[in-house]
Structure 1
Amino acid sequence: MSGTDGPQGDHYFTARPASAGERRAIRVRLAGRDAEVETAGGVFSPDHVDLGTQVLLRTVPAPPATGDLLDLGCGWGPVALTLALLSPDARVWAVDVNERALDLVRRNAARLGLGNVVAATPDDVPVDVAFAALWSNPPVRIGKPALRELLLRWLPRVAPGGEAWLVVGRHLGADPLQRWLTEEAGLPTTREASAKGFRVLRYGP
């Protein structure tokens, strides 16, 4: 589900977890440490941490130490795993519609010894959970109506005093999205950084 560039369409909705033969290990850097994780085709950016996510992770402040944290559109897990490494006493929700992605997140959390990651579909997150932080490289290529619906569902669940951080490609509509969130959706959002063709947006109730 995650990602502001990359494959479109059914690629985000793979129902079947990857088989052992389809999974492969890659080396990445997460939360300042080298880590080996598993990825597979059928998820966003399976060979590396994509540039937009790199920009997000380099820009955002440290997450809260406790509470519920959300990676919206988790893919194979670079954001969720980073949140879990940085905040071991928090509960990290890794949310995606792609069951293959969720299976990979669970495997990667176990591989890294992270017991605080909960990989879940959107409907499996209890409605009473409010998030101290939301980090996301949202799936812009699902289209404007679906993206707006996604953000309208999740941004209001950021707790008072919490923050949502989004990274969106400038050429994929970051500036119009910020204006829409602020002026029409009633979710005042600021541009906090620009780097390598991406905008980093912040929402805080």
Structure 2
Amino acid sequence: MAQHYFDSDPDAASRPSTADLVLPDLHLRLHTDRGIFSPDRIDLGTRVLLETVPAPPPEGRLLDLGCGYGPIALTLASRAPAATVLGVDVNSRAVGLARRNASAHGLDNARFALITPEGEAAEDDGPALTGPFDAIWSNPPIRVGKDVLHTLLRVWLGRLSVEGVAHLVVQRHLGADSLQKWLDAQGLPAERVASRAGFRVLAVRRAGTDGDAAPR
């Protein structure tokens, strides 16, 4: 069964709060609320991802899959100000907060779109979702179940550019190693490029593409 943060319209009563994203290169205070993923603090998996991935491409189209209230997408936007960043999520409350956070920090190169679990646009005026994307960073919703997760990953990883790389962070005890094997079987070669605090960071490419993996 999907977790409440994967609902399109969460019914949890609103209780606005904030969470601080503190990294060596930026400090963002982000608006949060109940009914979304990790509203009280930046979750450890997201922090591991943001502290271990290589710098994003300085230009091009970058994607945060499952953006929540925006910590990953806004880090991308801050680190690559000449790029166009798209954050997508099925949770309307999270997307609204992400838009508010981008505006509050003047990160005009970040846009956010509400999507369906199948990866389709859920808003008529949303930005184009088809890509191709030159980088994807994601803390994917592992707990929603394999069928939903695999559908999301097939759709969005299929929108990587030829030279694009996706970085996914997944808890080891929630199936990081089995997910890596599944990605390989789908023609999406995955390499573990970091391991910390019980999390794996996987670098994923389209089959047949070249590129150096991120440093371990």
Could you tell me the TM-score, scaled by structure 1's length? Answer: 0.89
Letter in 2 for 1:179: K
Residue 144 of structure 1 is matched in structure 2 by 146
Q: Is the CA contact (8 Å cut-off) linking 2:86 and 2:113 kept in structure 1?
A: yes
Percent sequence identity is 49
**Which deviations, in whole Å up to 9, do the C-alpha atoms of 1:148-195 show, x marking residues without a partner?**
11110111111011110000000000001100110x211111111111
Distance in 2, Cα, partners of 1:18 & 1:32: 34
* C-alpha displacement of 1:28: 2.5
Letter in 1 for 2:53: V
Letter in 1 for 2:179: L
Give me the CA root mean square deviation: 2.0
Distance in 1, Cα, partners of 2:91 & 2:50: 22
Distance in 1, Cα, partners of 2:73 & 2:12: 19
More helix by share: 1
* C-alpha displacement of 1:95: 0.3
Matched, 1:91 2:84: yes
Q: What are the ranges of 5 or more consecutive residues in structure 1 without an aligned counterpart?
A: 1-6
Higher relative contact order (CA 8 A, sep 6+): 1
Distance in 1, Cα, partners of 2:23 & 2:196: 19
In structure 2, the CA distance between the partners of 1:171 and 1:16, relative to structure 1 (3 Å rule), is closer
**Which deviations, in whole Å up to 9, do the C-alpha atoms of 1:98-143 show, x marking residues without a partner?**
0000000000000000111111023235354200000000000010
Find the partner of 2:9 among 7, 15, 31.
15
SS in 2 for 1:66: coil
Q: What are the ranges of 5 or more consecutive residues in structure 2 without an aligned counterpart?
A: 122-126, 207-216
In structure 2, the CA distance between the partners of 1:149 and 1:16, relative to structure 1 (3 Å rule), is closer
SS in 2 for 1:141: helix
Q: Is the CA contact (8 Å cut-off) linking 2:87 and 2:113 kept in structure 1?
A: yes
Letter in 1 for 2:90: V
Residue 190 of structure 1 is matched in structure 2 by 191
